[in-house]
Structure 1
Amino acid sequence: MDFSPALRPATLVRRYKRFLADVITEQGEALTLHCPNTGAMTGCGSPGDKVWYSISGNPKRKYACTWELTETHSGDVICVNTQRANQLTEETLRDECIPALAGYENIKREVKYGHENSRCDFMLQACKQVNCYIEVKSVTLSDEGQGYFPDAVTTRGQKHLRELIAIAEQGERAVLLFAALHTAITCVSPASHIDAAYAQLLKQALHSGVEVYAWGASISPEKMVLNRPLNVVV
């Protein structure tokens, strides 16, 4: 995924009201960004961090600029725009870069499924193969290279695991894909210290036949790409 037009740098002042962030541009201008992340964003943006933002050409937007990346003081880069996880995953699926998910003819997005009024991120289809339902989760919480999901209690994430369990028990493929969008992350685990119910459901999902994968990304202000498999430690 190439960033076009190019991202612009700024210095973070604060994040507030969940969806807003104040920054100072390199030209010294005070600017408010839209923050497309509903999570706690622990470790993803401290005052003084260098951030990168995109500019929308949509005149109807109240805030034309979107917070995309954070560069930490240690030099790691984090994608805080959770919408990018699905965009990256779709690109990776179409290029068949994840061997376990290659060989499908059709890729559908936002397909209704399950008994809890859900929509899976992707459904893969191919002749003579069962359907493959995929839920994608963006992982940005890192502790010395150990990635954790979620970074806050997620009832929605718990629901998605229950839906995947049901799909697997029906004999179709059910996949949970962790997209690690923090360059320091080398492996991924459920954050049992944050959401014990999610961690327990993930164990149940694995026992029920849900496939769980994690892929890391290279991230820069120019481009992002999911390009390396990571271990999932449950």
Structure 2
Amino acid sequence: MTATAAGGPGLVQARFVRRYKRFLAEVVLDGRSEIVHVPNTGSMATLLHAGADAWLARAANPKRKLLWTLVLLGLPDGGLALIDTSLPNRLVHEAVAAGRVAELAGYAQHRREVPIGSAGSRCDLLLTADDGRRCWVEIKNCTQLGSEPGRCDFPDAVTERGTRHLHELSERVAVGDRAVQFYLLSRTDCDRVGIARGIDPAYGAALDAAQKAGVEVVVYRARLSSAEQRVGERAIFVG
């Protein structure tokens, strides 16, 4: 995917100053302070480094109140992390459609944002084979630096929504469908994904139960640069 996350012609480099009010950040762009949109509900606790490179996408609508969206943040080692949580679903769908995710190959139909469960939820991706077999895929963006070098954890904040999604995936397995929890490792300084059980014990317990019920876990790394963001190679899941 070429970096046109918010509709502009590409990403523009700025310098990160601070995040505040959850969905806002201050950056320095072309020598002046600018307030930008932060499309991320998590804590981002291990990502916020004053002075870090910030890569912004310009809004397609010139009348939007905030003209810029934060897409990538630089890491201390010179790498990058994907901040815009609207992108992983699109990136994974593109990779599946292109046949670059072996675990999800062989499905003729791909649908995004499909209703699931009884609580008004939507599943990120529903894959259907010609013979009617279905695979429900929930996608999570992983950026929380873990306690060990090279480990990235999910979640970075309590996620009741994520826990509900795991229950809904388990329900699909119970009726004969396939279900996959897909973690996209979205920081370049890590090579494996684990569960932040200290941050959200309920999510960890729900994942354990979901795996016992037959929900599969698939982990891939994101390849990130200011020019392109895409799904790369498989990564390790350490639970």
TM-score interval w.r.t. the shorter chain?
over 0.9
- Specify the alignment match of 2:221 in structure 1: 216
Unaligned runs of 5+ in 2: none
- Specify the alignment match of 1:20 in structure 2: 24
SS at match of 1:13: strand
The offset of 1:57, in angstroms, is 2.5
Q: Distance in 1 between matches of 2:235 and 2:218?
A: 8
Match for 1:120 among 118, 123, 130?
123
Q: Distance in 2 between matches of 1:88 and 1:101?
A: 14
CA RMSD of aligned residues (A): 1.0
- Specify the alignment match of 1:103 in structure 2: 106
Q: Distance in 2 between matches of 1:231 and 1:207?
A: 19
- TM-score, reference length from structure 2: 0.95
1:202 aligns with 2:211: no
Name the % identity.
37
Question: What does the per-residue CA deviation read over 1:12-70, in whole Å, with 9 as the maximum and x for residues that have no partner?
Answer: 11110001111112x21211110000100122122111111010120331101000101
SS at match of 2:2: coil
1:163 aligns with 2:163: no
Match for 1:8 among 12, 16, 20?
12
1:76 aligns with 2:79: yes
Unaligned runs of 5+ in 1: none
The offset of 1:114, in angstroms, is 1.3
Question: What does the per-residue CA deviation read over 1:152-173, in whole Å, with 9 as the maximum and x for residues that have no partner?
Answer: 0000000000000111111101
Q: Distance in 1 between matches of 2:84 and 2:97?
A: 21
- TM-score, reference length from structure 1: 0.97
The offset of 1:118, in angstroms, is 1.2
Q: Note if contact 1:124-1:131 (Cα within 8 Å) is conserved in structure 2.
A: yes
SS at match of 2:156: coil
Question: What does the per-residue CA deviation read over 1:173-192, in whole Å, with 9 as the maximum and x for residues that have no partner?
Answer: 11100011111121111110
Q: Distance in 1 between matches of 2:190 and 2:75?
A: 13
The offset of 1:127, in angstroms, is 1.5
Q: Note if contact 2:88-2:140 (Cα within 8 Å) is conserved in structure 1.
A: yes
Q: How many aligned residue pairs are there?
A: 233
- Specify the alignment match of 2:54 in structure 1: 51
